[in-house]
A = this chain, B = another copy of it.
Amino acid sequence: MRLSSTEENYLKAIYKIAEREKKSASTNTIAKYIGTAPASVTDMLKRLAGKQLINYEKYKGVTLTTYGGREATQLIRRHRLWEVFLASKLRFSWEAVHDIAEELEHVKSEELVNRLDAFLDYPKFDPHGDPIPNAQGKFTLRNQMSLLDAHPGNKVVLLGVREHETSFLQYLNGLNISLGTEFTIKAFNHFDKSMNILIDHTRETLLSEKVCQILLVKKI
């Protein structure tokens, strides 16, 4: 079935909310995520349910059907592949790629996305470190943890970020932190859960709990 861009966006929202909260998505949560009024969400949920894309029961919340999940995964695949294209081929910085990919992801052509995938050499992760589903919808799993869970003395490398907001990514740019940057944990400050970190074996910085929580790393 042919989906509109709007329908696709709702599916993606439901997918992401379910992933984040590990339960069915509520009307209000979807409304906040998409940026519409709850009443508009109710309307759309009825239409999506009619197309067998979601399981919807009034006043309960919604989950994706197998079919709806497949559509959402393919949309995420397109989004992340375009992000890789924008960053690695057109040299956009990681904070700029999201908004443009939001538009590119809705271009409908199976052939296009598969050729793009090949052109980019089948990347497994996007510029924020998020995994890119392959043509079969399979994500690559990876051992990673929040920087918050590392301990003094640990050496780790940055694999991804849980937050894509421009201002946050620019904050990291200012600290010269990007994917692949190495950290040595110097100290953990119990009173506010901040950390003293040595970046790239050269600069010592203080990172707040909030920032540490966002950074995804693995030990080296």
Contacts and interface: CB of A to CB of B under 8 A. Distances in A.
A92 interface: yes
The SS class assigned to the A binding surface is: helix
A90 B104 contact: no
Interface in A124-141: none
- The count of identical subunits is 2
Nearest to A101: B107
Contact of A112 (B90, B107, B108, B112): B90
B108 A90 contact: no
A115 B91 contact: yes
Interface residues of A, number: 18
Contacts of A100: 107, 109, 112
Interface of A: 86, 89-92, 96, 99-100, 103-104, 107-109, 111-112, 115-116, 119
17 contacts: A86-B112, A89-B119, A90-B115, A90-B116, A90-B119, A92-B111, A92-B115, A96-B111, A99-B109, A100-B107, A100-B109, A103-B107, A103-B108, A103-B109, A104-B104, A104-B107, A107-B107
